[in-house]
Every structure is written in structure tokens, then in C-alpha cells.
Amino acid sequence: MRYENELIELMPMLRSYIRKVKKRFRLDDDDDVFQECILNAIDSARKTEIRNPKRYFIGVFDKTVKRIIDRDIKRRRLFNEYHPEDRTDDEESVSILSQIEGRVRVEQPITRRVWKCLKEFSGDRKLTARRIGCHLSTVTVSKSRLKSIYRELS
């Protein structure tokens, strides 16, 4: 490979980036993520001509990590759908959630979409904004509205 020095130079940065992402998104194994990023970088370097290797590899790492995060979130969501007995919700929290869902139905459409995505992405505003296609401040305002609804009901 022609760009191995640049790739080796970026490995410590990739490790620290993966550690930060792992804490935030509760990824299972950072070594697997690291290996997948490196393999994708090597494969993509073979296929294309690269002008700025560092910038290119950082972009490949970022895309790979985001794809792994999306895959992991989908896997968790599917597990919860097909294994509801493994959830640890008690009756009171389920009751409050159903009351919140009833109140959210009469809210603005964007608040309803934010509510659905926040549940899906475990409260992450950035992923919610990216998935809905709106600005981060819109998600923040909707999230504060949802918090006020929660406070009223509990």
C-alpha cells in the first residue's frame, strides 16, 4: 500500500476517537471498530487516487464509525422489539410513558418526530437531528418541551 506511513501516523488518533465514541454510544468492542476502520481505509485506498491521504483516511474512519453506530443502534432496537421480556421497565414508568405518548400526540408534528427518534437513539440529540433532517436547536427545543410534559405528569 502506498499510504501506510500516513495510516500508521493516524492510528493513535483513531484509537482515541473510537474510545470517545464508545463511551457516548455504548459500542460493544472498540478493537472490532478499529479493525473495521483500518480495513475500510486500506480497501478504499486501493480503489481510488488520493490527493490528501490524512484527510481522506479521517473521512473513511468517520464514515465507518457512523455506519457501525447506526448498525449497533438498529440491532439494539430490534432486540428490544423481539425480546420485550428482557426490558427492565416497571409498571409506573410504563404508565408515565403511555401518558407522555398521549400528550405528545397533540403536540406539533416536529415534537412527535423528535419524541420517536429520541426513544430510538437513547436520547442523543445529534443523531436525532441528523435522522429527522432538522437543526440541532429544533431538537433541543422539542426535548425541553418533552421534559416539561414529563414534569407535569410526574
Enumerate helices (H) and strands (E) in the chain, giving the number of each: 7, 0
Domain layout of the chain by residue ranges: 4-82, 89-153
Note down pLDDT in tens along the chain; length 154 residues: 678 888 889 899 988 888 888 777 777 677 888 888 888 888 888 888 888 888 888 888 888 888 888 877 777 766 665 545 544 444 555 566 667 667 776 677 777 778 777 766 666 778 778 888 888 888 888 888 877 877 777 6
Instruction: Check if CATH label 1.10.3720.10 holds for domain 4-82.
Output: no
Vertex 117 angle, CA 142 and 15, to 5°:
110
In this prediction the pTM is 0.49
Place of cell 431538537: 139
DSSP 86: G
pLDDT for 53 equals 86
